[in-house]
Amino acid sequence: MKSQPLNGGRALRIGLVCPYSWNSPGGVRSHIEDLALALIQRGHWVNVLAPVESPEQELPDWLTDAGVPVAVPYNGSVAKLRFGIRAMARVRKWIDVNDFDVLHVHEPLAPSVSLLACWVASGPIVATWHSSAERSRVLNASFYIAQTALEKISARIAVSESARRYLVSHVGGDAILIPNGVRVQAIAERARRTSKEPEALAFLGRIDEPRKGLEILLAAMPAVIRSVPDVHLTVVGPGDASAQIARMDKDIGQHVTFAGKLSDDQKIEALARAQVYVAPHTGGESFGIVLAEAMAAGTAVLASDLEAFSVVLQEGRAGQLFPTGDSQALANAIVALLNGPDRVQELAGAGRLRVRDFDWDTVVDQVLAVYEAVTVNGDKVTEDLRGQLVGRWMVSR
């Protein structure tokens, strides 16, 4: 059942902190936007602090600009982060002015405004861990610095079991598991207006990122085409398709369309048109939000048996699993599904039921329960720089 807001539950003043640029699309950023909107809808007062690249652009009134981010290599890729003495001053002012009941920091270890917010604040602080990067060098090298910021956090949330395990083993302590939210209703609505195509498959993800597993799916295609001659695969995602096309056999090429990068709505339509959404990932996925989106769109899911996927698909009850990296098994599974419409219907139905657990409404209930557990006595978020050299001397407002 859902944990509902308590009777007499008061409206909270909530501060959300996004470490990455508000202008670049990404999982963490859209999570924060969805969360903010859902909380506002429930009658809470919300303000988001995030780096913004073009300050002249029109911002929603619940967003505070933390300054222009800088692109720096971080955790294996390039991230746009905001840090430095001026950023620190903005964070302090933001906390000072807004009189928050609870501060909700995302990716508190990212060297950006999230870490700075943990650094200067004390009181009810909630933190959400999104990524499950392998052992972080940042954390190793600057453990003391990180620790003084981390030990201020009153409640920790992880969005996936692997993110939780990462946190528990590398940082220590406990974390509540609250999976990512999906706008189930909106997706289902759009999917209803899209008609299914027979023998259609869909793949989503960067073409040139090996961990997304496109290679494995393409290797399975010849065997699939032999049994289902009319099969068609739509590949949605950024990346250079020409290299893939050049490498592919022409006979197979006829059955594959590279749609490139699509808008969110077009992505949902591509998912909804397919009979089966294939997720042949080989690793690195902490949650697999696309699986939930496919389920919301009423499309049967066929995914590699990574632990995260297996949890989302309830060990194969809400979608079918195949051994990770096994093209032959994948081909067999695709053929069986395309030849068995009843099974596809059954999986789509089970998926629709399962995806309710990931609906934003459910997620917001759980997040609010955490807020209430740390704010029930009415403590406020205040500034507290004790124990921090940098904060004490090097920063002035």
Partner 1 sequence: MTWWLAVVFVVLACVFALYLSVTAGRLDRLHRRIDSAQANLSTLLLRRNSAAIELASSGLLDPASSVLILNAAHVARECADDTLADRSFSESALSAALNAALDESHEPDEPGLTGLEHQLITEVVALGTRVQLSRRFLNDAVRACRQVRQQQLVRIFRLAGHTAWPQTMEMDDALPVGLGPR
List residues binding partner 1 (CB under 8 A): 1-7, 122, 124, 148, 151-152, 154-156, 172-174, 176, 357, 362, 366, 369-370, 372-377, 379, 384, 386-389
Nearest approach, Cβ of residue 35 and partner 1 (Å): 17
- Counting every residue, how long is the chain? 397
* AA identity, residue 161: E
Nearest approach, Cβ of residue 295 and partner 1 (Å): 15
When the beta carbons of 128 and 275 are compared against partner 1, the nearer one is 128
When the beta carbons of 1 and 246 are compared against partner 1, the nearer one is 1
Q: Which residue has the tokens 């202008």?
A: 23
Tokens of 265: 């709505």
DSSP symbol at 316: G
Phi and psi of 78, rounded to 5°? -100, 125
When the beta carbons of 258 and 358 are compared against partner 1, the nearer one is 358
Q: Where are the alpha helices (DSSP H) in the chain?
A: 27-41, 85-98, 113-120, 137-141, 143-150, 161-170, 184-192, 214-227, 241-247, 250-253, 264-273, 289-296, 307-312, 327-338, 341-355, 360-375, 389
When the beta carbons of 320 and 375 are compared against partner 1, the nearer one is 375
Nearest approach, Cβ of residue 373 and partner 1 (Å): 4
Phi and psi of 66, rounded to 5°? -95, 5
DSSP string for residues in 267-283: HHHHHHH-SEEEE---S
Nearest approach, Cβ of residue 154 and partner 1 (Å): 6
Tokens of 144: 């003391």
Nearest approach, Cβ of residue 44 and partner 1 (Å): 17
Q: Which residue has the tokens 């009189």?
A: 99
Query: Could you tell me if 74 and 21 are in contact, meaning their C-beta atoms sit under 8 angstroms apart?
Result: no
Residue 56 exposure: Cα atoms within 13 Å on the Cβ side: 0
When the beta carbons of 216 and 370 are compared against partner 1, the nearer one is 370
When the beta carbons of 180 and 275 are compared against partner 1, the nearer one is 180
* AA identity, residue 147: Q
Q: Which residue has the tokens 């200067």?
A: 120
Closest of 196, 158, 148, 204 to residue 180, by C-alpha: 158
When the beta carbons of 250 and 386 are compared against partner 1, the nearer one is 386
When the beta carbons of 10 and 196 are compared against partner 1, the nearer one is 10
Phi and psi of 297, rounded to 5°? -80, 0
Nearest approach, Cβ of residue 91 and partner 1 (Å): 18
When the beta carbons of 174 and 251 are compared against partner 1, the nearer one is 174
Nearest approach, Cβ of residue 155 and partner 1 (Å): 5
DSSP string for residues in 90-135: HHHHHHHHH--SEEEEESTTSTTHHHHHHHHEESSEEEEE----SS
When the beta carbons of 229 and 378 are compared against partner 1, the nearer one is 378
Instruction: Quickly count: other Cβ atoms within 10 Å of residue 79's Cβ.
Output: 22
Nearest approach, Cβ of residue 276 and partner 1 (Å): 26
Nearest approach, Cβ of residue 90 and partner 1 (Å): 23
Nearest approach, Cβ of residue 381 and partner 1 (Å): 12
